[in-house]
Amino acid sequence: MSYFDSTLLTQFEGLETPFYYYNLDLLQETLSAAKAAADKRNFHVHYALKANFNPRVLEMVQAQGFGADCVSGNEVSKAIEVGFPASQITFAGVGKSDKEIRTALKHEIFAFNVESIQEMEIIDELAGEIGIRANVSLRINPNVDAKTHQYITTGLDENKFGLPNSELERAASVLRNCKNVDLVGLHFHIGSQITDMNVFKSLCVKVNEWKNWFEERGTQIRVLNVGGGLGVDYYGPDANPIADFETYFDIFDRFLERTPNQEVHFELGRALVAQCGSLISKVLYIKSGVKKNFLILDAGMTELMRPMLYQAYHKIEKVGASAEAEKANYDVVGPICESTDAFGKEVALPVSKRGDLIAIRTAGAYAEVMASSYNLRDEIRYFYAHQGQHDLVAP
Ligand SMILES: *Cc1c(COP(=O)(O)O)cnc(C)c1O
């Protein structure tokens, strides 16, 4: 049985489409489950803001007591603005501008995740100018294959992220000469939408190795930040609405070697927010091509870009359809003037007509945040469902 049944069809009647639908009850359940599983093991979780910074989503994540993981100066400012404590904010990214570094320095965030030796020297210099000390974690590229889509793999030697192993000796020596920088930890983030739990075991092995490497050289490591990447079930949003946080954290608990006062930090994005969001769109036209039937929606890559950017799969459903409805195969496409503007090819859907509503599921992460105004499209709307209350927010 789909979540988007005839009850929701009634609720959506007369609403202007497209819009993001956020199930805030599911979000709350997910956040509580993650928080409980982390707290039990004394783990710290930073929420990766880039996954979704919709106002109410962000408010709920903050209220749950997570820290924030930012990848731009504006995200740092946003995190502060919505109430994340500066002492729980990390800042990663291969290309931090001077302006962004100054912003983060002024807020005295918890730590910069430093991705190159040159960046470390610049942070040292800018911190010196302002007259404060900066905490840094070294982002190490551990050369672990995340076994996810190549476009969202970040921890291999050929990826641009983090310090390659060959540079660590030099990084450690440069660090000793930096007068305004303190090393607090090691940072790793190997990719996203990781569903093979063995990948996280391999990561633990690498983290242990590098931690020992530093400790053997007399450098104490307070924080082991293992990044994010926990995947969700794009094929079964109703069967598996909440990621398996217990199993995930348990792997790190069992396989990471820690001294008693060493902290373990995580940066979860997708697993916290992906399943609470869906994109609701209306069928504009049905076009029967030479070889294909096209279902043309009023939403496209300007509202949800993941299928076009990463060849990502999203489950597509007709809102309020009965399970027995007769099916047909459609290429589900958007209105944007690009051939890649398709959500799915040869999708079996209940026979549809102009005006029917379509739900594109698992669109809470890396979705609304990537909306663009290409083709001068309208700004995106969103609809919140929370404890029997609904709210459509239009721009
Ligand atoms: C994007 C990102 C994350 C979050 O990744 P998810 O796969 O969404 O959990 C964590 N850390 C860093 C450094 C990132 O860039």
Long-range contacts of 291-296 (CB under 8 A, 24+ apart): 292/330, 292/331, 293/328, 293/329, 293/330, 293/331, 294/330, 294/331, 294/332, 294/333, 295/330, 295/331, 295/332, 295/333, 295/347, 295/349, 295/352, 295/358, 296/333, 296/334, 296/335
Q: What is the pLDDT of residues 363-394, one digit of tens each?
A: 999 999 999 999 999 999 999 999 988 888 87
pLDDT surpassing 90 at residue 164: no
DSSP letter string, 184-241: EEEE---BSSB--HHHHHHHHHHHHHHHHHHHHTT----EEE----B---SS-TTT--
Together in a domain, 178 and 309: no
Together in a domain, 258 and 305: no
Lookup result for tokens 């070697």:
257
Output the CA 243–ligand 1 centroid distance in Å. 16
Over residues 275-284, mean pLDDT: 98
How many domains in the chain? 2
In a domain, 112, yes or no: yes
pLDDT surpassing 90 at residue 198: yes
pLDDT > 90 in the chain, percent: 86
Distance of CA 306 to the CA centre of its chain: 12
Give strand pairing partners of 277. Answer: 22
pLDDT surpassing 80 at residue 158: no
Together in a domain, 64 and 12: no
Closest ligand 1 atom to residue 366 Cα is: 8
Q: What is the pLDDT of residues 66-116, one digit of tens each?
A: 999 999 999 999 999 999 999 999 999 999 999 999 999 999 999 999 999
Of 243, 274, 305, the last residue of a domain is: 274
Per-residue pLDDT band for 159 (boundaries 50, 70, 90) equals confident
Together in a domain, 29 and 53: yes
Per-residue pLDDT band for 179 (boundaries 50, 70, 90) equals very high
Together in a domain, 155 and 302: no
pLDDT surpassing 80 at residue 243: yes
- pLDDT score for 155: 72
Neighbours of 172 (CB within 10 A): 16
Output the CA 359–ligand 1 centroid distance in Å. 26
Together in a domain, 189 and 314: no
Together in a domain, 107 and 174: yes
Has 268 been labeled as part of a binding site? yes
In a domain, 339, yes or no: yes
- Domain housing 382: 6-20+275-393
pLDDT > 70 in the chain, percent: 100
Together in a domain, 188 and 215: yes
From 46, 50, 66, give the residue whose CB has the most ligand 1 atoms within 8 Å, as the site to mutate: 50
- pLDDT score for 149: 82
Q: How high is the mean pLDDT of the chain?
A: 95
More confident call, 149 vs 81: 81
In a domain, 297, yes or no: yes
The torsion angle over the Cα atoms of residues 108, 111, 112 and 113, rounded to 10 degrees, is -170
Together in a domain, 232 and 368: no
Output the CA 155–ligand 1 centroid distance in Å. 12
Over residues 11-20, mean pLDDT: 95
Over residues 219-245, mean pLDDT: 97
Together in a domain, 237 and 379: no
Closest ligand 1 atom to residue 229 Cα is: 7
Query: Which residues have any ligand 1 atom within 6 Å of their CB?
Result: 48, 50-51, 69, 71, 92, 189, 192, 227-230, 267-271
Of 240, 274, 308, the last residue of a domain is: 274
Together in a domain, 227 and 363: no
Q: What is the pLDDT of residues 328-364, one digit of tens each?
A: 999 999 999 998 999 999 999 999 999 999 999 999 9
Instruction: Tell me the CATH number at 360.
Output: 2.40.37.10
Q: What is the pLDDT of residues 45-58, one digit of tens each?
A: 999 999 999 999 99
pLDDT surpassing 80 at residue 255: yes
Of 245, 274, 303, the last residue of a domain is: 274
Neighbours of 60 (CB within 10 A): 20
Q: Where are the beta strands (DSSP E) in the chain?
A: 19-23, 44-48, 67-70, 89-91, 111-114, 134-139, 181-187, 223-225, 263-268, 277-288, 293-297, 316-318, 327-333, 342-350, 357-360, 381-386, 389-393
Closest ligand 1 atom to residue 267 Cα is: 10
In a domain, 1, yes or no: no
Over residues 3-30, mean pLDDT: 95
Together in a domain, 252 and 303: no
- pLDDT score for 127: 98
- pLDDT score for 212: 95
Per-residue pLDDT band for 197 (boundaries 50, 70, 90) equals very high
In a domain, 122, yes or no: yes
Contact between 90 and 137 under an 8 Å Cβ cutoff? The reply is yes
